[in-house]
């Protein structure tokens, strides 16, 4: 199962998920000037990042909005990026955050689990109801795919809905998390985790131990590290025996060259930051 592949990747490479949320203004000017087409500049930038991190990244998260915003050229860069990761035997999480139902959800599933935009995992929002997740499940059964459902996100606005207390004295995100966890029991791999994972931000740590304990077969996609304030010690609380989650960093890795003020070697600094992040998390895990 794809979740076993991700588990092994974390075991062998560490917890870093490189976020390819590639904005045009992230690309160094000298590099941008080498290409006539924006599509080519974005893809070649991504290619350099992938080449420099493929041996140390557990997976890659590609946020589709950055590519959709550029129209057809952006979507071609998106497709070429997915294809290149596959060619290099990397694992892809397509960050699409879809959340519709019925036939529309079926079409979203077809769009991202087949054809030009085929990927390994997608991100979904379950807050419209569990029927927004169900159309994706046949691909988990028959096509070796996986998904990450939003449970408790890292943004400040999470408090507006996710933290509301229910009449059972549980927060909304706890109820949603348990429902998604139960749904995932049908798709548990040899590693003990389900192909239905959850997005859990590491910027809210007070409930981390309870979340990890209650959602024991759910593999976590953990945003919030670095630029959003999450620390390695926070991340470690969401892991179990050093596995069970990947930690995303986008700007921290893609823009590492800016701290060094060295645009020429941007890919080298992306690698150095990914290694630093990996070692930071491993150290925190060992200290628990």
- With beta carbons less than 8 A apart as the criterion, state whether 106 and 112 touch: no
Pick from 26, 124, 110, 112: nearest CA to 75: 112
Interhelix angle for 71-87 vs 38-53, to 10°? Answer: 20
- Helix count (H) and strand count (E) of the chain? 14, 8
Pick from 93, 88, 80, 92: nearest CA to 38: 80
Alpha carbon distance 82, 118 (integer Å): 8
Phi and psi at 128, nearest 5°, equal -90, -10
The tokens describing 197, both together, are 């994972």
- By annotation, the residues acting in catalysis are 97
The tokens describing 159, both together, are 């408090």
Q: How many CB atoms sit inside 10 A of residue 148's CB?
A: 25
Pick from 164, 203, 17: nearest CA to 95: 17
Beta bridge partners, 222, equal 247
């Amino acid at each position: 199962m794809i979740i076993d592949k991700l588990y092994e990747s974390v075991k062998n490479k560490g917890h870093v998920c490189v976020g390819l949320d590639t904005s045009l203004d992230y690309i160094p000017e000298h590099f941008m000037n080498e290409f006539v087409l924006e599509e080519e500049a974005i893809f070649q930038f991504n290619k350099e990042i992938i080449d420099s991190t493929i041996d140390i990244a557990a997976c890659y998260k590609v946020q589709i909005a950055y590519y959709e915003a550029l129209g057809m050229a952006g979507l071609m860069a998106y497709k070429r990026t997915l294809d290149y990761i596959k060619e290099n035997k990397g694992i892809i999480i397509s960050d699409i955050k879809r959340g519709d139902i019925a036939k529309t959800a079926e079409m979203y599933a077809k769009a991202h689990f087949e054809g030009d935009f085929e990927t390994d995992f997608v991100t979904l929002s379950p807050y419209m109801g569990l029927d927004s997740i169900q159309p994706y499940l046949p691909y988990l059964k028959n096509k070796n795919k996986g998904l990450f459902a939003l449970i408790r996100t890292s943004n400040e606005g999470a408090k507006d809905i996710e933290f509301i207390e229910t009449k059972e004295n549980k927060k909304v995100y706890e109820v949603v998390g348990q429902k998604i966890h139960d749904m995932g029991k049908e798709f548990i791999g040899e590693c003990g985790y389900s192909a239905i994972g959850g997005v859990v931000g590491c910027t809210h740590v007070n409930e981390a131990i309870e979340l990890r304990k209650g959602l024991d077969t759910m593999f976590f996609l953990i945003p919030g590290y670095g630029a959003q304030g999450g620390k390695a010690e926070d991340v470690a609380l969401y892991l179990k025996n050093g596995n069970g989650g990947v930690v995303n960093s986008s700007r921290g890795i893609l823009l590492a060259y800016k701290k060094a003020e060295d645009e020429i070697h941007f890919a080298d600094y992306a690698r150095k930051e990914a290694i630093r992040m990996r070692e930071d998390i491993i150290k925190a895990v060992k200290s628990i």
